[in-house]
Chain A
Amino acid sequence: MPILSKHLIRDENLIRNENLVIEGVDVSGDWSTFIKTRVVQDYNDSLQEDIAALPGGENIHRCWQCGSCTNTCTINALNPDFNPRYWIYLIRIGMEEELIRDKEIIWQCVSCNKCTSVCPRDVMPEGVMRATAHWLELKGYTPESPATIFDKVFSSQVFAKGKIEEGRLMMRFFKKTGQKLTQDWLVGLIRGLVLRLPIGLLTRMGLSALIHPRTRDWSNHRMAIAEYITEQKALHRKALGLPTTEESR
């Protein structure tokens, strides 16, 4: 019998004997394909609570597995392995090992909020994706993803200055992720733009590279935010049972 839904079975769990004769019947090759029994015993009972303790994951326990999020998901349409419904299931039931197999793609959520708009239980799957990516990093399963690095570079600029300046942001990001500062496709675009711009504007743009935008009297805000972030970080690490002082990355 052909195995239906063979895509659900990982290659390493499929067994196939090239030469096998059972009770006189030759069942070599495809005839002897069978699936290794896999019994999961080490459920992580606190996985759901871990995710719920991180920002965005608060409503995970509401999910009833209807599949709306996955079938509307922008990234699922590009990559069927990106499946918020399935991950929520794994988390709720505590199948940590299974979840970690997809650690390389969970962070790819583009925050389009399609899932959150359709979810009938208001699970906020977009938030759960964020919390899960965060959890993977806190637990050390994944290094910081490019997205996290971008968020951090961006946020730290906002927290420090109150405003964002795109040029600098891009440079910092490319530097932090070890990418070339002069991405070919960007250079072409910017060259075209520069040729079109009048001299006056160019000088202004040149100047703005020196005079960085910032919000005035921001220092109180900067301190308030820094204090809050330290508190929250400690809370999150505590909820996950990690030492509360994070070694600086």
Chain B
Amino acid sequence: MSNKYRKVAYYPGCALEGGASSYNRSTKEVGKKLGLELVELENWNCCGAMEVKNADPKLQTFLSARNLKIAEDMGFDTVMSPCNGCYHNLKKAEYDLAHDEASRETVKKLAHRAKTEPYQAGKVETIHALDWIRDAIGTDELRKQVRNSLKGLKVANYYGCMYTRPRHIFPEKDQGGANSDSTYRPHFMDDLLAAAGAENVEYPLKTACCGGAHTLSDSDTSTRLVLNLLTTAEACGAEVIATECPTCHQGLEMHQARAEKVFGKKTKVKMLYFTQLLGMALGLSARQVGVHENLSDSRSLLKEKGLG
């Protein structure tokens, strides 16, 4: 256990305030259980998700810069986001502001027009919920705190696109060794869940795309991509897909249902946020980590495994 990241600024983002409330709930509960403090960014705004960049990438930089500035003004040097989209956009803004003059200029111009001060690169570090737990607590300490081991639960760890790509916006990754995550074969979630007792399966599609960008606008494509993720997970022997992104998670849930309804392809594998799994391993109930708030229903599997 280190003193790093024990108290960080928290940026939940729109998804966690909406449909992914269970991810928000379980993240906070796990933090509380582990004695970590989260202070929510005051009056934050949407990061722009995957959509604003299509209107104009520099506007997305501006939106994220505003959030980073809030963290700085609140006196934090670290902001944690559990949502891959938010995490990615904050990272991207940080990268663009550090490397691209045109982005700096646009953010400055917009900030002044909005009568605020622009954020400057290098002031606030953005981390994911995975970094947060892994660095603040560590796998050894986590192992000690496990009350209800995930033993016997076969898990496929799914990270999706935005946690790893494009690789240049994550300079801390790919540094080699156990303490730097890989953009090709990420393992931070695997490490945490293994410490909680889970049996991770070898899952080759860890960073494949779920089609989240077109969940609604090109549903058939998304359904095909998700179905591939689900059937591969099942073929690898997984009972649960652990997720760390609300867009992926909800995409998997929705398109699992859609694949059954529209394509007639039924899959059984369940989806749970990694924080829900960790929470239950730490002794929280299924209800405390919001399992009932997920779109898909995994309660019977959890009961069978003696979890929650």
Please give the residue numbers on chain A whose beta carbons come within 8 Å of chain B beta carbons, in ascending order. 55-56, 74-75, 78, 108-114, 116-117, 124, 127, 130, 134, 145-152, 154-155, 158-159, 162-167, 170, 173-174, 177, 184-186, 188-190, 192-193, 196-198, 201, 213, 215-218, 220-221, 223-225, 227-229, 232
**Contact status B51-A155, CB under 8 Å:** yes
**Contact status A55-B56, CB under 8 Å:** yes
**Contact status B217-A149, CB under 8 Å:** yes
Residues from 66 to 106 in B contacting A, C-beta threshold 8 Å: 66, 106
Query: When the two chains form the complex, which single residue of B15, B48, B50, B114 contacts A111, counting CB atoms closer than 8 Å?
Result: B50
- Count contacts between A and B, CB distance < 8 Å: 175
With contacts A145-B217, A147-B217 taken as known, whether A154 is within 8 angstroms of B161 at the C-beta atoms is no
Q: Which residues of A have CB within 8 Å of B19?
A: 166
B285 CB to closest chain A CB (Å) equals 13
A-B contact pairs, 20 of them (CB 8 A): A55-B57, A108-B214, A110-B211, A113-B161, A114-B209, A147-B54, A151-B55, A155-B59, A162-B46, A165-B14, A177-B217, A185-B254, A192-B295, A193-B294, A213-B17, A216-B43, A220-B114, A220-B115, A225-B59, A227-B113
A19 to B201, CA, bound (A): 62
**Contact status B254-A189, CB under 8 Å:** yes
A215 to B43, CA, bound (A): 6
Interface size class of B (residues with CB under 8 A): 35 or more
Main secondary structure of the interface of A (DSSP, over half): helix
Q: Does B58 contact A (CB under 8 A)?
A: yes
**Chain B residue nearest in CB terms to A116:** B166
Query: When the two chains form the complex, which single residue of A117, A146, A167, A184 contacts B167, counting CB atoms closer than 8 Å?
Result: A117
Greatest chain A CB density within 10 A among B44, B109, B111, B221 is at B221
**Contact status A221-B114, CB under 8 Å:** yes
A177 to B219, CA, bound (A): 13
Query: When the two chains form the complex, which single residue of B50, B113, B221, B224 contacts A224, counting CB atoms closer than 8 Å?
Result: B113
Q: Which residues of A have CB within 8 Å of B208?
A: 74
**Contact status A150-B217, CB under 8 Å:** yes
**Chain A residue nearest in CB terms to B217:** A146
Q: Which residues of B have CB within 8 Å of A113?
A: 161-162, 165-166
A104 to B1, CA, bound (A): 54
Given A165-B14, A218-B45, 19 additional A-B pairs, CB 8 A: A56-B57, A111-B161, A116-B165, A151-B52, A151-B54, A155-B51, A159-B59, A163-B14, A163-B17, A165-B18, A167-B18, A185-B262, A189-B257, A190-B295, A196-B292, A197-B293, A220-B114, A221-B116, A228-B113
Q: Which residues of A have CB within 8 Å of B186?
A: none
Q: Does B37 contact A (CB under 8 A)?
A: no
**Contact status B49-A164, CB under 8 Å:** yes
Residues from 197 to 226 in B contacting A, C-beta threshold 8 Å: 208-209, 211-214, 216-218, 221-222, 224-225
Residues from 29 to 57 in B contacting A, C-beta threshold 8 Å: 43-46, 48-57
Q: Which residues of A have CB within 8 Å of B261?
A: 184-185, 188
Q: Which residues of A have CB within 8 Å of B253?
A: 189
Top-4 shortest CB links A-B = A112-B209, A224-B113, A146-B217, A154-B51
A215 to B298, CA, bound (A): 34
